[in-house]
Amino acid sequence: MTEEMESHVHVGDIIEIKKGQEKGENAKVIAVYNNSVAVELNRKEKNGNPARTIVNHSKYVVKS
């Protein structure tokens, strides 16, 4: 069984970050890894690109 199936999160899902610097923010999953997910946050960086970060599986909950 893959980690993606175990964590019940898929690319395109919206998560709420529960711990860390981005606590309370919603983010869109762009990649699923063994111990974490890569997400796009709902804000832009200074260069105009969407802000992205990596979140450990234990530090978020899936919203949709």
Domains of the chain: 3-62 (2.30.30.30)
| Nearest by Cα to 51 from 17, 19, 18 | 17
Write down the pTM of the prediction.
0.83
Say how far apart CA 47 and CA 26 lie, in whole Å: 21
Joined tokens for residue 21? 């610097």
Exposed / middle / buried, residue 26 (Cβ in 10 Å: 0-12, 13-18, 19+): middle
Q: So what's the pLDDT on residue 4?
A: 42
14-52 pLDDT, tens digit each: 999 999 999 999 999 999 999 999 999 999 999 999 999
d(CA 3, CA 40): 20
